[in-house]
Amino acid sequence: MFEDKRVAVVMPAYEAEKTLGMTYQEIPMDLVDDVILVDDASTDATSAMAKSLGITVYTHPTNQGYGANQKTCYRAALERDADVVVMLHPDYQYSPRLLPAMVAMVGSGHFDVVLGSRILGRGALEGGMPLYKYISNRFLTYFENLLVGVKLSEYHTGYRAFSREVLESLPLDENSDDFVFDNQMLVQAIGQGYSIGEISCPTLYFPEASSINFRRSCIYGFGVLWTAISYRLHQWGLLRSKLFGGKPT
């Protein structure tokens, strides 16, 4: 609990057997009421390990994609009465020890969404982010800030905290089941006027940590560009997008 608010950590998982234990051990369970893992049809022992740790597990019978995994994560958290929901990847790229700060920023009411930024502070390159990913991150972030009209250090982190209100109000089922889901969700939150906070988060890249390949990164990049462009066209009244439904603000 945080100030009488129920806190849930959700983990979208695929082939996370080797890193799940390390991640779970650093979650501050004195703060977190519920840990939920959604296994997207892993072929390893991800689900068995999660159950042995006492984690609540949901399993997709077939692989549905990263975005579809998150949709199940958030539905499950809301069904289990979470007030603050933190998405934490079980691959140990992001530090679970930052959970108290992220929860406090949302639970206090100061922010509706909080991002663990790999760019602020020490920086992603020191943590092992490949140079091409760093360059594309900076380009895409600059482009999105320009079109979306806010100023964030990055849009592409997988470490995020949300208030219940945000998760209940965003049209998440309209979003992609693939990696661009993250970006669509964030732009939707901005479009609905929710406040976005950031915290510096060191990250680790190592062989066991999950990472999309160059081809998938390119697909993601084009999806990000189209998300920003379609948002701006929607705001100008030139395109009606179901992702940003309703009248432009």
Asked if residue 62 belongs to a domain, the reply is yes
> What is the tally of structural domains in the chain?
1
Asked if residue 109 belongs to a domain, the reply is yes
How many residues does this entry show for the chain? 249
Say which residues have a Cβ less than 8 Å from residue 190's Cβ, sequence separation at least 6: 148, 149, 150, 196
Asked if residue 42 belongs to a domain, the reply is yes
Please write the tens of the pLDDT for every residue from 20-60.
999 999 999 999 999 999 999 999 999 999 999 999 999 99
Say which residues have a Cβ less than 8 Å from residue 135's Cβ, sequence separation at least 6: none
What is the spatial distance between Cα 196 and Cα 126, in angstroms, rounded to a whole number? 25
What percent of the chain is predicted at pLDDT more than 70?
95
Residue corresponding to tokens 């997207």: 40
Q: Which pTM does this prediction carry? A: 0.93
What is the spatial distance between Cα 67 and Cα 61, in angstroms, rounded to a whole number? 16
The reported pLDDT for the residue numbered 155 is 95
8 Å CB contact between 66 and 12:
yes
Domain span at residue 193 reads 7-130+150-210
Asked if residue 240 belongs to a domain, the reply is no
8 Å CB contact between 201 and 90:
no
Q: At 84, which CATH number?
A: 3.90.550.10
Please write the tens of the pLDDT for every residue from 56-107.
999 999 999 999 999 999 999 999 999 999 999 999 999 999 999 999 999 9
Asked if residue 143 belongs to a domain, the reply is no
Mean pLDDT of the chain: 93
Residue corresponding to tokens 């395109």: 239
Asked if residue 233 belongs to a domain, the reply is no
Asked if residue 139 belongs to a domain, the reply is no
- Per-residue pLDDT at 210 exceeds 90: no
